Amino acid sequence: MVTDDSASNGEFLATTVGRTPDLVRLDIQIPGADGYATVAAMREHPTLAEAPIFAITAYAMEGDPQKGLDAGFTDY
């Protein structure tokens, strides 16, 4: 499993698909596609579709939590 904070979303998906993680903490602002695109891709995979995925971010604008929930995060 990728635990390096600098891992791209592609690396993360490649190592996570096929596993059922207990919990995923996902930054919104990651290299490559952002956390919103990554969580959407994760929700497309059967082994990740129901995984608890929590958004970790410094974004604090009004509406951001709901945007995260709408994107597929379990919590923001």
Per the domain annotation, does 58 fall within a domain?
A: yes
Range of the domain at 63: 9-71
pLDDT beyond 70 at 2: no
d(CA 51, CA 72): 10
Per the domain annotation, does 2 fall within a domain?
A: no
Residue 3 — very low, low, confident or very high, per pLDDT cuts 50/70/90? very low
The answer to whether the pTM exceeds 0.95 is: no
Tell me, what's the pLDDT at 74? 96
Q: What is the CATH number of the domain that holds 32?
A: 3.40.50.2300
Q: Give the contacts of 64 (CB within 8 A, at least 6 positions apart).
A: 57, 76
Per the domain annotation, does 26 fall within a domain?
A: yes
Q: Could you give the number of structural domains in the chain? A: 1
Per the domain annotation, does 4 fall within a domain?
A: no
**SS3 (DSSP) at 10:** helix
Q: What is the pLDDT of residues 20-75, one digit of tens each?
A: 788 999 999 887 788 999 899 889 988 888 999 999 988 778 999 999 999 999 99
Q: Provide φ and ψ at 62, rounded to 5°.
A: -60, 135
Judge whether 55 and 26 are in contact, CB under 8 Å. yes
Greater confidence (20 vs 14) lies with 20
**Structure tokens of 55?**
């958004």
Per the domain annotation, does 1 fall within a domain?
A: no
Per the domain annotation, does 66 fall within a domain?
A: yes
